[in-house]
Amino acid sequence: MIEMLAMTAMTAMTASMLVVGWIIWKVINRHEEGDTALQSKLDADDRRAAIGRGESPDPPLSDSPSDSLSDSPSDSPSN
């Protein structure tokens, strides 16, 4: 009986921590969403990290790799 009560209490505590963490995550994301100053700082940090890794600091012109494939002649119909 005591073991079942302890297990229930631990499960309830874990669930409540998950709910509180999710609420905090949603609140922080909502605040960060419209913060252009924060976004520019994050972009600058990404550029510095890319330079540190020896990569090009400029983002690619196309976000999706399929854009470069759509211009190939094999995608056009043969009729």
**pLDDT interval class at 46 (50, 70, 90):** very high
Q: What is the mean pLDDT of residues 49-77?
A: 65
What pLDDT digit, counting tens, does each position of 21-34 carry?
Answer: 999 999 999 988 88
47 or 67, greater pLDDT: 47
Alpha carbons 69 and 64: distance in angstroms, whole number? 10
Contact 57, 51 (CB under 8 A): yes
Nearest alpha carbon to residue 13 among 3, 24, 25, 5: 5
Alpha carbons 18 and 16: distance in angstroms, whole number? 5
Q: What are phi and psi of 41, to 5 degrees?
A: -65, -40
In single-letter form, the type of residue at position 41 comes to: K
**pLDDT interval class at 49 (50, 70, 90):** very high
Q: What is the mean pLDDT of residues 1-16?
A: 93
